[in-house]
Structure 1
Amino acid sequence: MNEKPNTELMKIGAMKRNKMKENFVQDLYIEMLLSEIQLTVEKEKLLKKIDSAIDHQDRMTFFRLTGELREINKRFGT
């Protein structure tokens, strides 16, 4: 008689663990996606500033901004 309730409890526990794993993976995916979006926006802004520095022939700003871009690419492996 005690077998069925224990089996049910084990099933419920397994289902909860699976749900927690799914939630963890989903949260991780969302975090990665948001980081990718943030990186893309940051790089786009930087590239626009670099274009502006080129248009204005501002070498110092160009070198500073391209250095920042290199650091971002190095940090994120792109």
Structure 2
Amino acid sequence: MKEKSYTELTKLNAMKRKKAKTYVMDLYIDMLLSEIHLKIEKDNLMTLIDKAIDERNREKFNQLSIEFNQLCKRFGS
């Protein structure tokens, strides 16, 4: 079995670190997008809930409140 030179080992190590950084960056971007999506969904539901309250529409309020609670449970917030 041929042993790898110092240069080859250094290059391999650098490539591994680059892949790890890319993975972490992708993970961070995914988390950020999920957080943005959650915030938008919550804001939209809260707007609809406020509108239902203003219209005194109890049925719509109850339905939207259930959806809001399910959204919070789904994302653990």
Higher helix share: 1
Q: Deviations over 1:4-43 (max 9, x none)?
A: x711001000000000000100110000000000000000
> Structure 1: how far apart are the matches of 2:41 and 2:5?
54
Aligned length: 76
TM-score (norm 1): 0.93
Aligned to 2:43: 44
RMSD of the alignment, in Å? 1.5
> Structure 2: how far apart are the matches of 1:74 and 1:17?
37
Aligned to 2:59: 60
TM-score (norm 2): 0.94
> Structure 1: how far apart are the matches of 2:40 and 2:11?
43
Aligned residue runs from structure 1 range 19-38, under 5 A? 19-38=18-37
Question: What amino acid is the match of 1:62?
Answer: F
> Structure 2: how far apart are the matches of 1:42 and 1:31?
16
Contiguous gaps of at least 5 residues in structure 1: none
> Structure 2: how far apart are the matches of 1:68 and 1:74?
10
Question: What amino acid is the match of 1:44?
Answer: D
Contiguous gaps of at least 5 residues in structure 2: none
Higher relative contact order, structure no. (Cα contacts within 8 Å, ≥ 6 residues apart): 2
Aligned-residue sequence identity (percent) comes to 40
